[in-house]
Amino acid sequence: MKYIQNIGLGIFLTGLAIFTSLIFLGKYELTPELFDATINSKGIKSELFINEIKSEVLGKTFTNPFSFSDKIVTAIESANESHKQNSEWDKVIWDKPHSFSYQIAKHAGTGLIKENKGLFWWLTFGLGILGALMCIIPNVITLGPAGIKNNGVWLNPATNRGWIGWFAFVFLVGFYLLLYFRPDYIVNWTYIVDPFSESISGNMASQWFLYGFLYCTVMTVMAVRMYIKYRHNKYQVLRTTSVLFFQIVFAFLIPEILVRFEKPWYDFKNAFPLDYDFFYSWSLDELISSGGLGLFILVWGILLTLVIVPVMVYFFGKRWYCSWVCGCGGLAETLGDPYRQLSDKSLKAWQLERWLVHGVLVFALVMTGFTLYAYFSGAEGLLGVKTQTIQDIYGFLIGSIFAGVIGTGFYPIFGNRVWCRFGCPLAAYLGIVQRFKSRFRITTNGGQCISCGNCSTYCEQGIDVRAYAQKGENIIRASCVGCGICAAVCPRGVLKLENGPEKGRINPTEILLGNDVDLMDLVNQK
């Protein structure tokens, strides 16, 4: 079995190495026809840019995406600079340089990968999936009988912030930086999922389609790991199935299919303010101009945030969203599960968490306030601050850096819920409802706690669960996403997630059940 797993690891790493090396392969040739088509479709009026590209790029062959991107980005930036100096505002190219460069590169790329999309899919995704499953499936036997088997978690350099963890960290951070800020470097990756994109939405794959496809693939493979690891625990099995379903169907397939029917790309479960650009003017315009469905989405989006989300949190806690439905939660609970023990449990971390997560919520609300004011008043900004500037800052700092680069890239170092715990504005909103008006709690079973610390260690949200359990007190915390792992790893059956009456939900105690009843009465009623 160990043998199969080692071969699997080898195959997985081969797939990963090929995937990584694809960036450096292939050629880029921009033909005059292609260039004309791009200029026409984009309505480019900058002759400076056109001439620069004609002399520097057209008819030349680039053997890597970096030099190709460099030429185009330089051309855009130098052209823009002189247009702005001369106040030729209609000639300025407003697209983000690397996004524009991506669109050109996507068409200009040639060579092995573009011609053998299927083959390269198998060599990357195929080998990756096969290898990973060969590592994971033998766990049915190697882990021993069903039960909590966290053996060696803190002895393994992959899961104890050892060298493998740091390597994974660098890789993930690098991946997200490329995805968000240098899409033109990774066009080769997008080619291998073109066939899927074309069959679903009818379009060539963008970097976001690639990301969605990869996301679903990783979640599916790692869900298999969850199914095996927690096969004795039906809560975990159902929860994993649920997040997987919502990711694949709601976050991936339905939006792409909507695009096929020329409807707006929309993820029906992605609630504002996590979906921070829902009220942006382009989004509102698009929805309003998309007929009945657009209006439905508009109403649904507002209802989701204002009614559905809080009512569901009242009955079930925020877990219904964060660990049963949400895509970020879905990745955290599958790919991130091996890293859950790395979250910081200190009081300091909790204090930081409260400032940060509520700060982001306020930021999101203020930004949306500016956005709506600008939309309805037609003004560019308010109090001398441009709406566009706030949106850009939010998109960069929160949308890209916090949610992506830090949120997932830092899994192997700070645990799998960095974004959900410290950054997600929706989680902050749900948390406030959960803390003050909900039936959900983690019940502590009388006096049974032995303070072992498994619950706190494996809490991905960094809640010191034991601090409550050892006092016989229920756990009521805004940040709890109800993953249920604390209850699963508890060796003494002390914790249970449940939705019960609000009365008595918060039950601070001094003397635990099992001691002298008179003493309990005396002390607990003080």
Partner 1 sequence: MAHIVIIGNGISGVTAARHIRKLSDKKITIVSAETDYFFSRTALMYVYMGHMKFEHTQPYEKWFWKKNRIELKKGFVKTIETKSKTLHFTEGDTLQYDQLIIATGSKPNKFGWPGQDLDGVMGMYHKQDLDNLEKYAPNNKVCKRAVIVGGGLIGIELAEMLHSRHIPVTFLVRESSFWNGVLPEGESAMINREIINNGIDLRLGVNLKEIKADGNGRVKSIVIAETGEEIPCEVVGLTAGVSPNIGFIKDSDIETGRGVKVNRFLETNVSDVYAIGDCAEQHEGIGMRRPIEAVWYTGRMMGETVAQTICGNRIPYKPGHWFNSAKFIDIEYQTYGWVWAEPKDNEARFYWEHDRGKKCIHLNYDKTTREFIGINTFGIRMRHEFFDRVLSEKRSVDHVLEHLADANFDPEFYKLHEKEIVAKFNRENDTNIQLKKKNWKRIFQTS
Positions that interact with partner 1 (CB under 8 A): 144-148, 150-156, 232-235, 238, 341, 346-347, 443, 445-448, 450-454, 456-457, 466-467, 470, 484, 487-489, 491-493, 496-498, 500-501, 503-504, 510-519, 523
E strand or H helix at 466: helix 465-469
Find all residues with CB under 8 Å of 20, minimum gap 6, and list them: none
Q: Pick between residue 155 and residue 383 the one whose CB is nearest to partner 1.
A: 155
Q: How far is the CB of 512 from partner 1 (least distance, A)?
A: 7
CA angle 252, 116, 111 (to 5 degrees): 110
Handedness of CA 496, 497, 499, 503 (dihedral sign): positive
C-alpha span between 102 and 136 (Å, rounded): 36
Residues pairing with 79 in the sheet: none
Q: Pick between residue 285 and residue 498 the one whose CB is nearest to partner 1.
A: 498
366: helix, coil or strand?
helix
Copy the structure tokens of residue 492: 């003494």
Q: Pick between residue 379 and residue 513 the one whose CB is nearest to partner 1.
A: 513
Q: How far is the CB of 191 from partner 1 (least distance, A)?
A: 42
Q: Say what angle helices 234-245 and 327-334 make with each other, to 10 degrees.
A: 130
Q: Pick between residue 154 and residue 396 the one whose CB is nearest to partner 1.
A: 154
Q: How far is the CB of 519 from partner 1 (least distance, A)?
A: 6
Residue length, the chain?
Answer: 526
Neighbours of 294 (CB within 10 A): 18
Q: How far is the CB of 257 from partner 1 (least distance, A)?
A: 31
Amino acid sitting at position 271? A
Q: How far is the CB of 431 from partner 1 (least distance, A)?
A: 21
Q: How far is the CB of 239 from partner 1 (least distance, A)?
A: 9
Copy the structure tokens of residue 374: 């600008």
Q: How far is the CB of 341 from partner 1 (least distance, A)?
A: 8
- Residue 254, burial from CB neighbour count under 10 angstroms (0-12, 13-18, 19+): middle
Q: Pick between residue 386 and residue 439 the one whose CB is nearest to partner 1.
A: 439
Residues pairing with 495 in the sheet: 444
Residues pairing with 496 in the sheet: 443
Q: Pick between residue 236 and residue 371 the one whose CB is nearest to partner 1.
A: 236
Q: Pick between residue 207 and residue 343 the one whose CB is nearest to partner 1.
A: 343
Q: Please, are residues 27 and 157 in contact by the beta-carbon 8 Å criterion?
A: no
Q: How far is the CB of 335 from partner 1 (least distance, A)?
A: 21
Q: How far is the CB of 417 from partner 1 (least distance, A)?
A: 18
Q: Pick between residue 164 and residue 365 the one whose CB is nearest to partner 1.
A: 164
* Nearest in space to 4 (alpha carbons), one of 168, 155, 153, 142: 142
Amino acid sitting at position 54? K
Q: Pick between residue 172 and residue 487 the one whose CB is nearest to partner 1.
A: 487
* Nearest in space to 28 (alpha carbons), one of 71, 64, 56: 64
Q: How far is the CB of 454 from partner 1 (least distance, A)?
A: 6
Q: Pick between residue 291 and residue 500 the one whose CB is nearest to partner 1.
A: 500
Tokens 């004609």 sit on residue: 54
Q: Please, are residues 203 and 194 in contact by the beta-carbon 8 Å criterion?
A: no
C-alpha span between 159 and 170 (Å, rounded): 15
